[in-house]
Structure 1
Amino acid sequence: MSRREMMIRGAAVAGGLALLRARAARGADVPGVERPRKGTAAETGTPSGEQTAAPPGEPGRDYTPVVVPDGTTLPWKALNGVKVYHLVAERVRREFAPGFVVECWGYNGQTPGPLIEAVEGDRVRIYVTNRLPEPTSVHWHGITLPNGMDGVSGLNQRAIPPGKTFKYEFTLRQSGTFMYHPHFDEMVQIGMGMQGVFVMHPRGAGAPRVDRDFAIMLNEWTIKPGTNKSDTTEPSDFNVLTFNSKVFPGTGPLVAKLGQRVRIRLANLSALDHHPIHLHGYQFRIAATDGGRIAEQGQWPETTVVVPVGSTRDIEFVADQPGDWALHCHMTHHTMNQMGHRVPIMLGVNTDDLDAKVRQLLPDYMTMGSTGMGEMAQMGMAVPRNSIPMVGGKGPFGPIDMGGMFTVLKVRDGITSFDDPGWYEHPVGTVAELAKADELRADGIRVPTSTTRTGGTR
């Protein structure tokens, strides 16, 4: 190769590198080079707080409003092109289930706080009034915004003193399911229920529109039987597990019409536990995380989705199968209520003599669980004041042997409202039932007479 050819090739390489650098600086797609996130100062060349907002998005026109079972959505008003909201941090009383009332902290009279709903490109102004006995702040979890609006007290802002109101204002530059919570005394404040969901709908082409859009906040509490407040100093012994701060049988159903496209947004601000949420009767697609929507070719089918602590997951499916379908956490102790935790294992223990002796001192004594704990759902035993039995709610075929993180997706054909339609009426011949003796004989089924079989024997 001549010296002249080397110089020409060298100039070409240098020019190519300069072009790649220029494209990278503009945020163009360059292999191996990450582009700045949409709406950030690096992407736009202007401070995040100075970006131009789009006209306020409107429900119906721009998005299908999200439904919060057992909760509400924060109202807003538009002023000079800005959506204005008002959050009030305060003490609240929440009925987790009938007769089980808990003293909590939350927002606007509830826990979780009301859902904040907006549209990508909206400019939002959120006033936060502190009616708590200590300072607080609000962190907008997962949201791209100016650093001074991030809500970490001491780092990004002064904490909000009791009795004072702070203003947060920023333009929404993303879409998806996010959360809000304090970053002051988190162990107490989040543990007492200060958390909420923040939904940003895409503007224009984005996630496909759905017919029913639900949001559920997952949380866990330590509430000793007979008390009415969560013990936030025990962040590893949770005995009350909630969907939107409700436990079954207090959880409201999710109602959809047959054939509708459904999205369920799951958000987890539990102190410790991830939650594998399982939906019966359906295969859904995991469509989004709090990092954004997953491209369609990257979505995958599941029947259970793990929602990690501090994360959100959106699942989507078509409600094509009518019925009452269970939706619950698949950690078995997360579908029990407080009276089912720390119960001694008595399975297989013959307690006849023990019960007789103890009854001489305590006439109503009865050892529980020697044949399993399933009967707890139907015994109707007395529990301490302001407490809840281990499991049990009324179902169409008897007690439902679940509690805690459990609710029901009710899919119906021909409904004209989304009020609770009651229990599903099964078509004849579609319900499991007691097998008849002649059916067993005809199919060659021999039913064992012993209730115990040694492993490895036939």
Structure 2
Amino acid sequence: MTFSRRNFLGASGAAALIGAGTVSGRVQAASIPEAPTMTSPAMQPPLVPTTGPDYQPVVTLNGWTLPWRMNGDWKEFHLVAEPVVREFAPGMVAHLWGYNGQSPGPTIEVVEGDKVRIFVTNKLPEHTTIHWHGMLLPNGMDGVGGLTQPQIKPGQTFVYEYEIRKSGTFMYHPHADEMVQMAMGMMGFLVAHPKDPAFRRVDRDFVFLMASYDIEPGSYVPRVAEMTDFNLWTWNSRVWPGIDHLVVGKGDRVRIRFGNLTMTNHPIHMHGYDFKVSCTDGGWVPEEAAWPETTIDCAVGQMRAFDFVADAPGDWAIHCHKAHHTMNAMGHSLRNFIGVDKKEVAKKIRRLMPDYMPMGSAGMADMGEMEMPLPENTLPMMSGFAQFGAVEMGGMFSVVKVREGLARGDYKDPGWFKHPEGTVAFEWKGPERSADRAPAGAGKPAADPAVDVKVVKPRGRSGHHNH
């Protein structure tokens, strides 16, 4: 279940999960705050501040923001590291490790100048810690097991206390048995809002973390020793078509923040817009120095944010531009059969396997439309349908849906975009351009079809025609 901020702030220290006397660190609280949990993969509404400094809260794709309580001038949170079950997309779940019921864990939102106290309870079968990636804090709160603190053993609760010294885009993850624990999904977003509510303010603010997993079809637990051959590339441990759409209103100023905890870089590309890179895990890019892009690379361990004004309605794709990262459960040993005639061999195979269907001779696009039987607990390589057919995507892909007339705070899926007449690409069927030849909504092209088209051949360096 989840708790509203009002209920959480109003709680007077509900039953502690563990006695304060066994908690390591300086604790002035009479008890440990409750640890809200969430198991639904649906995007939860932003947690709008009702007390304290004003800010525009973030929206976590397929996630939520962790409530807190005020204890004097300390803002107190409670994270529980534990095994979780995460749905990657309908039809597949994974047995991961995470926080408060999910992987990644809930987003933590704070404000520059806040004094925060974060309780961390370990319900894993091994020790752990939390590193606050990009934060400026006392060395003993940095969360590197053995170096800056003792490990948090199973059953223990530790406390991290520090002041938020700068605003920006950050994350949290373990620094204990790091290869295993991050490969199992232990990570979360941390957003520090500016003390000045007007500083670089936007109308909608989305966040997600990138992670990669190798989960064989029919299995449920990632192979944690894998370094390069991953078959599931995720945003917030979800893959297309399970990743939430980013719904915004026309005219909204929008920020999209993301961090990378995979083993490779990701060039994130958004269609239909150019944007300004506004923030990294090192801090804000000065407005006069923010540079325009349509694709921004995010290396391992980095955070990036970009801003744009949503002035072009439509369904605009956003995705990693590495083609294999927009595929699901992809086997890298597939052979290339393009151009191979399989008709005769298919007849022979069907004598043994009547349902056999030869694929790949003309590319892999037919896999996006055919819903073939799959092994237990896996997903098709290419999936998802929209108004014109199969989208043929997977992995790190979603849609920015820009619409007119959306109410502030309305993040519901508005359906597919209704294209104005004459704005959809259509099939050419000859010189007579009657309306019945164009698809619905396409309208008539304005150009005159009766044009004498001349072919200009390229010339070689010698000045002669190439043949």
TM above 0.5, one fold? Answer: yes
Whole-angstrom distance in 2 between the partners of 1:176 and 1:152: 22
Q: Percent identity?
A: 54
**Structure 1 residue 216: deviation in Å?**
1.1
Shift of 1:207: 3.7
Equivalent residue in structure 2 for 1:145, among 137, 142, 157: 137
Question: Residues 35-57 of structure 1, C-alpha deviation per residue, up to 9 Å, x if partnerless?
Answer: xxxxxxxxxxxxxx9xxxxxxx8
User: SS of the counterpart of 1:333?
Assistant: helix
Counterpart amino acid of residue 121 in structure 1: G
Match of residue 348, structure 2, among 321, 332, 357: 357
Q: Which of the numbers 300, 316, 321 marks the counterpart of 2:312?
A: 321
Task: Structure 1: state its 5+ residue gaps.
Answer: 1-48, 50-56, 448-455
**1:419 is the counterpart of 2:407:** no
Partner of 2:396 in structure 1? 405
Identify the residue that residue 155 of structure 2 maps to in structure 1: 163
Partner of 2:286: 295
- Alignment of 1:385 onto 2:376: yes
- In 2 relative to 1, CA 318–63 (structure 1 residues): closer, same or farther, beyond 3 Å? same
Give the aligned partner of residue 54 of structure 1.
none
The 1:444–1:435 alpha-carbon spacing in structure 2 relative to 1, beyond 3 Å, is farther
Which structure shows the higher helix fraction?
1
* Counterpart among 358, 362, 378 of residue 371 in structure 1: 362
Question: Displacement, 1:238?
Answer: 0.6
Check the 8 A contact 2:313/2:401 in 1, yes or no.
yes
Contact 2:53 2:111 in 1 (8 A): no
CA distance in 1, matches of 2:83, 2:332: 27
Question: How big is the shift at 1:341?
Answer: 3.9
Displacement of 1:415: 1.9
Match of 2:75 in 1: 83
Which residue number corresponds to residue 267 of structure 2?
276
Q: Does 1:118 align with 2:105?
A: no
Instruction: Give the distance between the partners of 1:226 and 1:405, measured in 2 at CA.
Output: 22
**Aligned partners of 1:248 and 1:393 also within 8 Å:** yes
Flag the 1:59–1:190 CA change in 2: closer, same or farther, 3 A.
Answer: farther
Task: Judge conservation of contact 2:245–2:401 (CA < 8 Å) in 1.
Answer: yes
How far is the alpha carbon of 1:60 from its aligned partner? 8.8
RMSD: 1.9
Pairwise CA distance, 1:367 = 2.8
Gaps of 5+ in 2: 1-25, 27-48, 434-448, 456-464
Distance 1:444 1:409 in 2: 41
CA contact (8 A) 1:59 1:65 kept: no
* 2:450 counterpart letter in structure 1: A
Q: How does 1:138-217 map to 2 (within 5 A)?
A: 138-204=130-196, 207-217=199-209
CA contact (8 A) 2:56 2:205 kept: yes
Paired amino acid for 1:276 = P
Contact 1:290/1:313 (<8 A) preserved: yes
Q: Is the 8 A contact 1:85 1:126 kept in 2?
A: yes
Deviation digits for residues 298-348 of structure 1, max 9, x if unmatched? 110000010111010010000010011001000000001004543211111
Deviation larger for 125-134 or 413-422: 413-422
Deviation at 1:202, TM superposition (A): 1.0
CA drift at 1:128: 0.3
TM-score (norm 1): 0.83
Structure 2-normalised TM-score? 0.81
CA-to-partner distance for each residue in 1:138-174, whole Å, 9 max, x for gaps? 0001111000000000000111000111000000101
Determine if contact 2:54/2:197 at 8 Å carries over to the other structure.
Answer: no
Residue 439 (structure 1) shift: 5.7
**2:431 matches 1:438:** yes
Matching residue's letter, 1:397:
F
- Indicate the larger mover: 89-98 or 228-237: 228-237
Task: Select which of 311, 322, 325 maps to 1:334.
Answer: 325
Deviation at residue 429 of structure 1 after TM alignment: 1.0
